[in-house]
Structure 1
Amino acid sequence: MFESILDRAFKHAQSNGDLDDLPGAGKPIESSRLNTDPFAHTFAESGAMTPFGAMRAKIAEAQARLAAATDPDERRAIQTEISALQTRMAIEMETWKRYS
């Protein structure tokens, strides 16, 4: 049977004990995180931003700008931006659910 380089490297690391003390080892993944952001468990301890987390951050930033805006035209533009971001996130989430 064909064994990839990655499989061999993983088995080698396991046998050397390189994977024994990883953060979160033996702990279950929080199911609530899987429902809201499918990659959150992968990136949580590294501090990296997931694609869905980045989208939520953009939405939150736009919502903060909307709260501070007083000009009606500016508010309308920001509302349009938020709507587009929310639509894009919904499409990406649906695509992830359907094809993963």
Structure 2
Amino acid sequence: MPWARVPAEPKAEALEASEELVQALLRTSLSLQDVYVSLLEGIPDDAFPGRDPAEVLLEMIYGSACLAIEAAGPELSRAATALIGAVMDRVLDDLRAAAALARARGGR
């Protein structure tokens, strides 16, 4: 995977691409959450007899996304999913390190 080796000093082009990706991830995740929660709150419990409305809504989202996945190809989708996971892991690692440093400095 091309992101397995992250350089210590990112290049300007990588920083620009990182900003674009993180902004897209935030916009998309917040929008999906907003739509999902709004629909879930507005659907009667018996809208899908014998089914959990939350699961049905997720299946609908999967179906909508599937068209874009088919157009791009499942391999690209899996690579994008892996990249998103790698970004999340790196962000969490860096935030944990920053919190530990802040705690250590506060302990002086």
TM-score of the alignment, normalized to the shorter chain, above 0.5: no
Rg comparison, structure with higher value? 1
Higher relative contact order (CA 8 A, sep 6+): 2
TM-score if structure 2 supplies the norm length?
Answer: 0.33
The TM-score, its normalising length taken from structure 1, stands at 0.35
